[in-house]
Chains A and B, each alone.
Chain A
Amino acid sequence: RKEVEQDPGPFNVPEGATVAFNCTYSNSASQSFFWYRQDCRKEPKLLMSVYSSGNEDGRFTAQLNRASQYISLLIRDSKLSDSATYLCVVHGNQFYFGTGTSLTVIP
């Protein structure tokens, strides 16, 4: 079983739409959780850390459910510039990556 499971998509949404990405992890002892964004042919960059209390940064909201071992990312009012691959990352003794979810925002 993979450490981190993520729907690869692709998600093709119109500008202004709300889109949600989900991720599950297998190790209940995992300590920290992140969403990274990766543009084509670039390195991954931290989008948000994810906390049990939920956290919001502008149009982005991340949520962690430790009981269900489930992480989510919600993007509201999608912009063309949001088009990228979104990687769910879980940290235990190393950083475990999901397969990434591809998002394309269409004009």
Chain B
Amino acid sequence: DTEVTQTPKHLVMGMTNKKSLKCEQHMGHRAMYWYKQKAKKPPELMFVYSYEKLSINESVPSRFSPECPNSSLLNLHLHALQPEDSALYLCASSQEPLSNTEAFFGQGTRLTVV
């Protein structure tokens, strides 16, 4: 199993809603990542979890709240988002935080904030 699974694939939410994005991998990877990608731009790193602990937070607004319940799961809780937060949200995982192995990406959640 070399998959990273993200749900939902599409999400439309209002600015007062609370929603969560979910990510799951069963490759035994110990590093997991959230990226945000706008159209025609590269992915921008939001958070890195290393051994289930938050190791990097790229100055992301508090309306985005990550959570790593266990080594296979990564969530991103969303609250009071703005229309400019509409983007593709990608989850990725890699074997070890500082290893030389590649990152595997999920298919992403396409988020629209209305």
Which residues from chain A sit less than 8 Å from chain B, CB to CB?
Answer: 31-32, 34, 41-46, 49, 87, 89, 91, 93-95, 97-100
Interface residues on B, range: 20 to 34
The residue among A31, A34, A43, A95 with the most chain B CB atoms within 10 A of its own CB is: A43
3 A-B pairs with least C-beta separation: A32-B100, A97-B42, A43-B105
A50 CB to nearest B CB, Å: 11
Q: When chains A and B are docked, how far (Å) is the Cα of A97 from the Cα of B92?
A: 13
Contact call A43/B98, Cβ cutoff below 8 A: no
B33 touches A95 (CB 8 A): yes
For A91, list chain B residues within 8 Å (CB): 100, 103
A31–B100 CB distance below 8 A = yes
Pairwise interchain contact B107-A93, C-beta atoms closer than 8 A: no
Q: Which of B90, B103, B108 has the most CB of A within 10 A?
A: B103
Whether, in the assembled complex, B48 has its beta carbon less than 8 Å from a beta carbon of chain A, the answer is yes
A32 in complex: contacting residue of B43, B97, B101, CB < 8 Å: B101
Query: For the complex, is B45 an interface residue (Cβ under 8 Å from A)?
Result: yes
From the candidates B42, B99, B105, name the one contacting A45 in the complex (CB within 8 A): B105
**Given contacts A94-B56, A97-B43, A99-B42, A46 and B90 within 8 Å (CB-CB):** no
| Bound Cα distance A43, B109 (Å) | 10
Q: Which of A44, A49, A98 contacts B105 (CB 8 A)?
A: A44
Shortest distance in angstroms between A24's beta carbon and chain B's nearest beta carbon?
15
Contact call B102/A94, Cβ cutoff below 8 A: no
Within 8 A of A (CB), among B54-104: 56, 88, 90, 92, 94, 97-104
